[in-house]
Amino acid sequence: MKIGCPREIKPQEFRVGMTPNAAREAVAHGHSVVVEAGAGVGSGFDDADYVAAGATILRTAQEVFAEADMIVKVKEPQMSERRLLREGQLLFTYLHLAPDPAQTNDLLASGCTAIAYETVTDAQGGLPLLAPMSEVAGKLAPQVGAWTLQKANGGRGVLLGGVPGVSPAKVVVIGGGVVGTHAARVAAGMGADVTVLDRSLPRMRYLDDVFGGQFKTSYASAGNTADMVAQADLVIGAVLVPGAAAPKLVTRAQLATMKHGAAIVDVAIDQGGCFETSHATTHEDPIYEVEGIMHYCVANMPGAVARTSTIALGNATMPFLLALADKGWKKACADDPHLMNGLNVHAGKLTYAAVGEALGIDTISPLEAIRA
């Protein structure tokens, strides 16, 4: 199979879909790899690194899309990239289709087969290709939240850890999954007063058992969430419904109950965000104010630490990438039901039910797509 890796073109996105090590592995499996010139520079990989791994460098994205049987990326294809996709081509990347009808319609119209990193599962019920970026985003959230709280950025002027004689900031993390756990650990490590809200009692017991003393847990009822948000200096939204749009857990009306200059970091923004007032921003212009509350809603947070993120993502995606290339997508998915859960689009049909429900589009099952 010929595998193509174009340069990411989403604003301020410095990650790359394949590392030179991934290219070397694919070549060792008998495949050919074509990489757009400069694709890895933002993550610290030169074209020469890919050539040494056995890949071929092509000048433009158009050439990569035209030659490759499978396109491997990081972020969802942008409009200009979607025009380059063709019938029968395999796309392997993050998609986050539920809040993005334009992308969904373009992928359906292209006739391609699209497997989304964020809906591939594992035997433990986890999301192995989302987890590395969730870990990065979770660890970044308190860092960018602390920056957003600075007075020069419109925030309250509160230091997360406080100082002797001055109380630390109150940080509320909504969601106790991978993102929330890492966010809570880092915020607590910075000295903040941290509470994690979740609806799963077993998960809260786990967090108390493993991290007891580092941060508190509380049940995420509507009333309790409202009370905690009103007291917070920083709220981190860390809720995920796999493949579906994020639930809106904090309303615009609730902003009026918050402290003026408090900050919100919406890590769920890729799935539409879990605050009613959230809309996607970029690293270049990351924050905005609504009702006196500062919102940080960058849709590709891990892109800020591109080298760490690229290597972590590459480690996770490599076994699946090789299975798709070695077996072809149909056999690879038939052999691995967890990979099959990643199938979102095939030949003009939507194959992921949660996306169909969010967008009002009829779906077929992945099994139907495999047998087609």
pTM: 0.87
Q: Quick one: pLDDT at residue 368?
A: 95
- Looking at residue 71, its pLDDT comes to 98
- Angle between the 178-189 and 131-148 helix axes, to the nearest 10 degrees? 40
- DSSP per residue over 121-176, as a string? --TTS--TTTHHHHHHHHHHHHHHHHHHTSGGGTS----TT-BTTBPPPEEEEE--
CATH 3.40.50.720 domain range(s) in the chain: 2-119+306-371, 131-299
Q: Which fold has domain 2-119+306-371?
A: Rossmann fold (3.40.50)
Q: What is the pLDDT of residue 121?
A: 97
E-strand stretches of the chain: 2-5, 32-36, 56-58, 70-72, 90-93, 113-116, 170-174, 193-198, 216-219, 234-237, 263-266, 287-290, 293-296, 343-346, 349-350
**Of 100, 198, 270, 336, which is the active-site residue?**
270
Architecture of the domain whose range is 131-299 = 3-Layer(aba) Sandwich (3.40)
Say which amino acid occupies 141: A
Query: Nearest Cα to 91, choosing from 118, 113, 76?
Result: 113
Q: 238: which residues sit within 8 A by CB, 6+ positions away?
A: 138, 141, 173, 174, 175, 176, 177, 179, 180, 183, 267, 268
Q: What's the CA gap between 264 and 141, in Å, rounded?
A: 10
Amino acid 248: pLDDT: 93
Q: Which amino acid is at 325?
A: A
pLDDT of residue 125: 87
Contact by Cβ (8 Å): 169, 233: yes
The β-bridge relationship of strands 263-266 and 293-296 is parallel
- CB neighbours (10 Å) of residue 284? 8
Residues facing 350 on adjacent strands: 345, 363
For the chain, which ranges sit under pLDDT 50? none
Calpha distance 249→226 (Å, rounded): 9
Does 96 participate in catalysis according to the annotation? yes
User: Of residues 31, 96, 182, 346, which has the active-site annotation?
Assistant: 96
Residue 157: per-residue pLDDT: 98
